[in-house]
Amino acid sequence: FLTMGIESSCDETSVALLLEGRQVLSNVISSQIKVHQVFGGVVPEIASRHHLENINQVTEEALNQAGVTLDQVDLIGVTCGPGLVGALLIGLASAKAYAFAKDIPLVGVHHIQGHISANYIEYPELEPPFMALVVSGGHTNIVEVRDYNGFQVLGGTRDDAVGEAFDKVARVLGLGYPGGPRIDKLAREGNPQAVPFKRVFLEKDSYDFSFSGIKTGVLNYLNSEKQAGREVNQADVAASFQQAVLDVIVKKAVTAAKTMKKDKLVLAGGVAANSKLREMLEEQCRKNGIQLYRPAPVLCTDNAAMIACAAYYKYKGGFVSDLTLDAYPNLPLTALQE
Ligand code: ATP
Ligand code: MG
Ligand code: FE
């Protein structure tokens, strides 16, 4: 059973081919990072244009690398939200065209169900139920995954997503875009105890997050040091910011797994590529008898293999879309619960 996945929600144009839902034959990712770097962030209109220019070539390359033709494809999965509307529409138009032309079933996929599914690819033996920690550019959520298509959102961010906080703090530090990987790298040379940024845990027992305060905290710290004429150690600031954010995330994720009696914790989303997060969770999971799962970095950030995998399980669960499938730029995570 051959699934083709298409992802175009942000600044990666990606097409993948998967065998039996988990075996990656190809996962071609065309990143626009270089294009948007000069602007310090993703410019939606430019992203759409580049998706349009790239998608056919990326699809052809994915089919070639997999050594298959479109006629052999049994299912097409495509990200239908959330994301940039113009960007999503390019992937959708392409998916619908192939589905219509070749009479192949089509499944619209929630981008975050894709991120979680990246773990099924990395770990062929992994099966729900488990607890998932979703940490990406637009999301920070703790999700109880009851089944392949059964989710319960326990908590989420009330303001900025964690990846967004990394990117904004990186910009303030003048590290450029995308900031997450750069903070990760710089923090390795810094002292995480140097600056006591506030850890925001919110109400007791809450699985919600808030990261907008720490962004302001970093800005205020930099300004006050500048005013006092003191030189700032960038690596210390990066390490302290990262530690403050990760202390909260790790604590809440492990608490959720323990409270809900889950012995598996699954990491998902771009920030899951963070080396310190992996390290901290590894230690805490070991101490608490929890098995930790985290995809390889290339499967953490946006890619079509994870979308194909999610589509496969939706299809097996009896779900199919039709050609009226649309883009849902603000598709909420709670849509997964329905
Ligand atoms: P969403 O998935 O919520 O729609 P997105 O698709 O833009 O958002 P992803 O591609 O999942 O987000 O992840 C990108 C985010 O991950 C960026 O904010 C980036 O800075 C962050 N990121 C990537 N690598 C690392 C890292 N090593 N450390 C911290 N953050 C990282
Ligand atoms: Mg991206
Ligand atoms: Fe993503």
ipTM of this model? Answer: 0.98
Q: How many beta carbons lie within 10 A of that of residue 244, not counting itself?
A: 20
Pull the structure tokens for residue 71.
Answer: 């006629």
Residue 41 confidence (pLDDT) = 85
CA of 79 to the centre of ligand 3 (A): 10
Q: Which atom of ligand 1 is nearest to the CA of 300?
A: 11
Structure tokens at 258: 């323990």
Query: By the 8 A CB rule, do 265 and 255 touch?
Result: no
Per-residue tens of pLDDT for the chain, all 338 residues = 999 999 999 999 999 999 999 999 999 999 988 888 888 888 999 999 999 999 999 999 999 999 999 999 999 999 999 999 999 999 999 999 999 999 999 999 999 999 999 999 999 999 999 999 999 999 999 999 999 999 999 999 999 999 999 999 999 999 988 899 999 999 999 999 999 999 999 999 999 999 999 999 999 999 999 999 999 999 999 999 999 999 999 999 999 999 999 999 999 999 999 999 999 999 999 999 999 999 999 999 999 999 999 999 999 999 999 999 999 999 999 999 87
Can you say whether residue 55 is alpha, beta or left, with left for phi > 0 and alpha for psi between -120 and 50 degrees? alpha
Return the sign of the alpha-carbon dihedral for residues 304, 311, 112, 132.
Answer: negative
Cα distance between residue 332 and residue 110, in whole Å: 9
User: What pLDDT score was predicted for residue 15?
Assistant: 98
Dist. CA 111 → ligand 3 center (Å): 6
Pocket test for ligand 1, best of 12, 136, 185 (most atoms within 8 A of CB): 136
Sheet of 23-31: strand order equals: 23-31, 12-19, 2-7, 75-81, 106-110
Q: Would you state the pLDDT for residue 91?
A: 98
Q: Is the CB of 245 under 6 A from ligand 1?
A: no
137 is in an annotated binding site: yes
Q: Which amino acid is located at 151 in the chain?
A: F
Ligand 1: atom nearest CA of 242 is 29
In testing the pocket of ligand 1, which one of 80, 109, 166, 307 has its CB within 8 Å of the most ligand atoms? 166
Annotation-wise, does 143 bind a ligand? Answer: no
Asked if residue 326 belongs to a known ligand binding site, the reply is no
Q: Which atom of ligand 1 is nearest to the CA of 12?
A: 10
Q: Is the peptide bond before 178 cis (omega within 30 degrees of 0)?
A: yes
* Gap between the Cα atoms of 35 and 49, Å rounded: 11
Q: Which two tokens stand for residue 108?
A: 């619209």
Q: Is the CB of 271 under 6 A from ligand 1?
A: yes
97 contacts: CB under 8 Å, gap ≥ 6: none
The rounded distance, in Å, linking the Cα atoms of 184 and 196 is 18
Q: Would the CB of 7 count as within 6 Å of ligand 1?
A: no
pLDDT at position 34: 86
Cα separation, 334 vs 338, whole angstroms: 7
Q: For ligand 1, is residue 302 a contact (CB within 6 Å)? A: yes
> 36 a known binding residue?
no
d(CA 304, CA 59): 11
| CA distance linking residue 252 with residue 207, whole number of Å | 6
Q: Report how far ligand 1's centroid is from the alpha carbon of 217 (Å).
A: 21
Written as six digits, the tokens of 336 are 């997964």
Q: Which residues contact 220 (CB under 8 A, 6 or more apart)?
A: none
Ligand nearest to the CA of 36: 2
* Assigned token pair, 215: 């962004």
Ligand 1 lined by 180 (C-beta under 6 Å): yes
What spacing in Å lies between the alpha carbon of 10 and ligand 2's midpoint? 6
CA dist list (Å): 297 to 115, 134, 181: 12, 14, 11
C-alpha 208/C-alpha 153 separation (Å) is 10
Distance 12 CA to ligand 2 centre (A): 6
d(CA 2, CA 263): 32
Q: 158, exposed or middle or buried, with CB in 10 Å at 0-12, 13-18, 19+?
A: middle
